[in-house]
Structure 1
Amino acid sequence: MKSIQRIITITVICIMVCSCKKSFLDLAPISNANANNFYKTRADFDVAINSAYATLYTIYAPEEAASYTEIMSDNATLYAVAGAQADKWAIRDYTISASNTLIYQYWQDYYKAMFTINNIIDQIQVAGLDAAYTNRVKGEMMFLRGLYYYNMVQLWGGVPLVTKVISATDAYTTLRSSETDVYNQIVTDLKFAADNLPLANAVPALGRASKGAAQTVLAEVYLSMGNKSAATTLLMEVYNSGQYSLLPQYASLFGANVKNTKESVFEIQNLGGSASNPYSSYWTAYAPVTNGVITKYGGGINQVTDDLYNEYEAGDPRRDVSINTGYNDAKGNFVAIKFPKKWEDRTAPVSGTQELSNNNFMVLRYADVLLLLTEATGDATYMNQVRARAGLSAFGTANYPTAKYPTVALALEHERRVELALEFHRFFDLKRTGRALTVLPAKGKTATQNRLVYPIPQYVITQNSAITQNPGY
């Protein structure tokens, strides 16, 4: 399995340096630190930890995350796109082949990240540092590993479980684990993280994982496994922790200078303005191609469907915060096309074809916790808190659109779609609730049971024929 062999033997140099106050981005000194170094001191591990968090910029890159969470759903589509057009259209159209270059790139990105994470876990355990620090570092790495494997099991089903740095020889004998075994490892990792990470108000730097972040991901994992009781216990701990709250206005959640608010549970830190910083590229990537007005050169991915736009109830302020309906071209003519607005940064400086935007990205936020609580408990009270923030009638009251969403489950599906629109939840939500094959074909998607997961990249199977392919590919 040469793909994994290459990944686990690669030296990962992923040091991000910037001046963001008290952010994990500060942790790495200017150096050539090598991921194969034997880290010994806290300063050494600060460098290593930074390299692990830096993998978030790849895993949640705009093209990668949108491809498997929005474009495969009914939220987003593609028209003209920059780059590998055929491979992107194949993801949209459920015509992916095992030779799709993007799917192979995503596979590589995850296993490169696992190498960095596993290397830190291996080395912190033999570094002889104090137990509290050691367990916190392990907890942070296990949070990232659990989060990434959760994404991977959603994308590919059973995947090779690599939980330590292994030799090239061992890589060839590391075959696909069952989905059950992958989920069990995710639970083990996230339990350790939840037990050893501090509350949000005590994390050592902005952007670092907290107890609440680990509990929230683990709760979603339990929901995916059908264990609503365990999910409820975790989510109620987050709910009662006093660490998080909804912001008064939905519009206050987004903006180039909105960072690490009380609603944020886990947030990727960006610092725009310089190409040497980890800037946000969502705005450029999600703008229409070559419009030359709002961005210098849009990527054209993650364009909003009419179906999502029409999902919003009359008077819901979240629609206009989330979605642009078009733009004026250089001649002042309005071009009607729907595209994401949440990561808009029209004043960002330009470098090459990129706007160097400053926007952070919230992987998890408190509204998600409340909606997951309704999913776990069947109690609409938590969902109604989210609706109240939007100024909308509560489920169960006279003015709620009961005819369209008559049950708590359908009301929640609607609410998660509009509250978390384009934030990389929709496809996984539909899979988790068993609704994908009801909803997506009705929207024109040629989704089938087999096509709800990606193929194992053909290059992986070519290099090791013992790796099995997913059915239907």
Structure 2
Amino acid sequence: MKNYIIKITAVVAIIVGFQSCDDPIDLQPISDIGADGFYSNTNEVNLGVIGIYNSLHLKQLDEWVVTELRSDNTQLSFDNSVNANVPYRQLDRFVSNPLNEFTASYWRASYKTIGLSNHVLENLAVVDDIDLAAQYEGEARFLRAHSLFNLVRLYGGVFVITESIDAADARNLERKSIEEAYEVIIEDLEFAYENLPEEYGSSEVGRATKWAAGAELGKALLTEGSATSVARAEIVLRDVATLSGKMLLDNYEDVFDFNNEYNDEIIFAVRYQSGLLGLGSPFANLFSPLQSENAVIFGGGDELNVPTEGMETLYATNDPRARTNFAVSWVDNSGNTNIERFVSKYNSTFSNVDDAPNDWVISRYADVILLLAEAINENNGGPNTEAIGLVDDVKLRAGQPVLTSAQTSTYFDFKLALEEERRKEFAFENHRWFDLLRTGRAVTVMNNHFATDFQYNDPNEPAFNTQPIQQFQTLLPIPQYEIDLNPSVAQNVGY
């Protein structure tokens, strides 16, 4: 779909360019040109759907800041002064506030995606082909659910918007409960799972499939956490694992090779294209070392998402995932070796800053089978042979020993072993924080991290020292601009 996205870049610029900065959320992204006037035939609805996919770039830009940086996987570089990159450091150390720019920008970007989805859903009547209309509806509902799912995990109760509304109505919105949000998320994903095609032609690779919806549905059900939902999650995830045709690649590093994108392991990814098309990935530059010039990647790096000490000690010396995910040194242009950790997972060859070709993987087969193992453990009160075998498959792919009897003897032993394996497997893919929230271990894990990582306890840098967090801090604050525009919106407790 990379070629497909490029063709409609100008149209999407029109769609998303007429936004009002005064609106609390971007609910009418094409209101200035008229939704009815734009969506007049099947081709224009299709362009609208592709516009939703393109909107994921804006959301993905800051997702690592509100997820991975808040986990024990990464931290902001401590080479900077205490006054540098303050909004990042606030989130890293859990001292954020409602004015934090990333708390606000991620919120806005997510509602932009939701708004674009709603516009498509309201204009499907012009699509004469019933099957194509169902596909477009499934794609729009999948992408709407994906954004809402992330919002509710990060902020708690949020606005649940399922139709276009004007700015006046938007200013009177009320936050819905977490339970109400999950009703919409699961309903959207169930529809997408039942109506999206299993695959597309080569010119449309990257569009959401039935299996992408199933993977997200399984995770949402598991996260919602009721007994009924977890039982349903096991069924859906097993179907995706056994019927999708997806599999583990033999070599972990091949999963992320930008010359091998949308391979047999990838289920859904946000697509990027280099070449000064406005579709390049910025993450190689954001994550690579400061002052590295062109020694690591073109244009140097900002060093904003640095692997923690814990990540360096997590992997066995022969685990190939370690060096695929991050480097521990780099050689500068003078031939000097610099001992410094940095995320290298998204590095590749490109010729312009913030213009890498690497896709960002949202879901892949390894995630599905480890989630299935988790669902089995939850449903049975402990692991069975199938669950253990699924985790062992991931470990063996990385050349690691299978689980020991001590790691599988009880429900909680297996839960911890699975948590560790997911951390190794999905490092820097924005899974870790959501995993800790889903398992209820965020406060425990993060307080141990803050107590043991030297960077947060350096006696020579007291300004960076970090205190234990409380449960309320696992949620982000509602952006202040929303409350300023609508004072009836309740702020999250503690902020």
TM over 0.5: yes
Report whether the alignment pairs 1:307 with 2:298.
no
Please say if residues 35 and 119 of structure 2, whose CA atoms lie closer than 8 Å, have aligned partners that are also in contact. Answer: no
Match of 2:92 in 1: 92
How far 1:26 sits from its partner (Å)?
4.9
Partner of 1:394: 402
Instruction: Name the CA distance, whole Å, in 1 between partners of 2:199 and 2:67.
Output: 27
Select which of 408, 415, 419 maps to 2:414.
Answer: 408
Q: Hey, what's the Cα distance between the residues in 2 that align with 1:427 and 1:467? A: 26
Name whichever of 68-77 and 164-173 sits farther off. 164-173
Task: Give 1:25's aligned residue.
Answer: 5
Q: Which amino acid aligns with 2:234?
A: T
* C-alpha separation in 2, matches of 1:45 and 1:69: 32
Q: How does 1:448-459 map to 2 (within 5 A)?
A: 448-459=470-481
Q: Within the alignment, does 1:420 sit opposite 2:423 as a pair?
A: no
- Report the equivalent of 2:189: 190
C-alpha separation in 2, matches of 1:258 and 1:90: 37
Q: Percent identity?
A: 29
- Measured against aligned partners, the alpha-carbon deviations of 1:183-218 in whole angstroms (never above 9, x if no partner) come to 111011111111110113569711100111111111
Distance of 1:348 and 1:362 partners within structure 2: 19
Greater than 6 Å deviation, 4+ residue runs: 81-84, 400-403
Relative contact order, higher structure (CA 8 A, sep 6+)? 1
Counterpart in 1 of 2:492? 470
How big is the shift at 1:330?
3.0
The CA deviation at 1:383 is 1.0
Q: Is the 8 A contact 1:371 1:382 kept in 2?
A: yes
Distance 1:110 1:232 in 2: 28
State the partner residue of 1:144: 143
1:307-456 correspondence to structure 2 within 5 Å:
307-345=310-348, 347-350=349-352, 354-378=353-377, 379-396=387-404, 407-444=413-450, 446-456=468-478
| CA contact 1:29–1:47 (8 Å) conserved in 2 | no
1:217 matched residue in structure 2: 216
1:162-192, CA deviations, whole angstroms, 9 ceiling, x for partnerless residues?
A: 1111022221221100111011110111111
> Residues of 1 paired with 2:239 and 2:202: CA distance?
17
Q: 1:344-393, CA deviations, whole angstroms, 9 ceiling, x for partnerless residues? A: 11x3102xxx1521111211010000110110012211111111111111
The one-letter code of the counterpart of 1:222 is L
Match of 1:104 in 2: 104
Q: Cα offset for 1:94?
A: 0.3
1:70 equivalenced with 2:59 (yes/no): no
CA displacement 1:67-111 (0-9 Å, x = unmatched) = 122110000001157997111100001000111122111111112
Q: Which residue of 2 aligns with 1:14?
A: none
- Name the CA distance, whole Å, in 2 between partners of 1:267 and 1:180: 27
Quote the residue 2:283 is aligned against: 282
Contact 1:81 1:301 in 2 (8 A): no
Cα distance, 1:284 vs. partner? 0.7
* 2-structure distance, mates of 1:198, 1:41: 21
Q: Which residue of the partner structure matches residue 264 of structure 1? A: 266
Aligned residues: 442
8 Å CA contact 2:286, 2:303 repeated in 1:
yes
1:231 aligns with 2:229: no
Correspondence for 1:3: none
Change (3 A) 1:122 1:204: farther
Q: Letter of the aligned partner of 2:475 in structure 1?
A: V
Between 1:360-369 and 1:406-415, the stretch displaced more is 406-415
* Residue 393 to residue 406, structure 1, CA distance change in 2 (3 Å): farther
Task: Give the 3 Å change call, closer, same or farther, for CA 447–200 of structure 1 in structure 2.
Answer: farther
**Any conservation in 1 of the 2:42–2:127 contact (CA below 8 Å)?**
no
The CA distance in 2 between the partners of 1:187 and 1:114, in whole Å, is 15
Q: Say which SS state the counterpart of residue 165 (structure 1) adopts.
A: coil
SS in 1 for 2:478: coil
The alpha carbon displacement at 1:133 in A equals: 1.3
1:269 CA displacement: 1.6
Question: Per-residue CA shift, 1:26-62, capped at 9, x if unaligned?
Answer: 552755754344212121112111111001111112x
SS at match of 1:240: helix
For 1:49 and 1:154, locate their aligned partners in 2 and report how far apart those are by CA, in whole Å: 25
Q: Secondary structure at the match of 2:122?
A: helix
Measured in 2, the distance between the counterparts of 1:458 and 1:271 equals: 34
Which residue of the partner structure matches residue 159 of structure 1? 158
User: Could you tell me how far 1:20 is from its partner in structure 2?
Assistant: 3.9
Structure 1 residues 242 and 214, CA gap change in structure 2 (3 angstroms): closer
**TM value normalised by structure 2:** 0.85
**How big is each residue's C-alpha offset from its partner over 1:421-472, in whole Å with a ceiling of 9 and x where there is no partner?**
1111000000001111111101106332100010011111111110000000
2 CA distance for matches of 1:367 and 1:424? Answer: 15
Offset of 1:402 from its aligned partner?
Answer: 8.1
Go from structure 1 to structure 2 and tell me whether the alpha carbon gap of 1:406 and 1:179 turns closer, same or farther (over 3 Å shift). closer
Letter in 2 for 1:153: V
What is the correspondence of 1:3-22 to structure 2 with a 5 Å cutoff?
A: 20-21=2-3
Whether contact under 8 Å (1:203, 1:209) holds in the other structure is no
- Which amino acid in the other structure matches residue 420 of structure 1? F
Q: Which amino acid aligns with 1:469?
A: Q
In structure 2, the residue matched to 1:13 is: none
Matched residue of 2:330: which SS? Answer: strand
- Alignment partner of 2:243: what SS? coil
1:235 counterpart SS class: helix
Q: Which residue of 1 aligns with 2:455?
A: none
- SS for the counterpart of 1:368 is helix
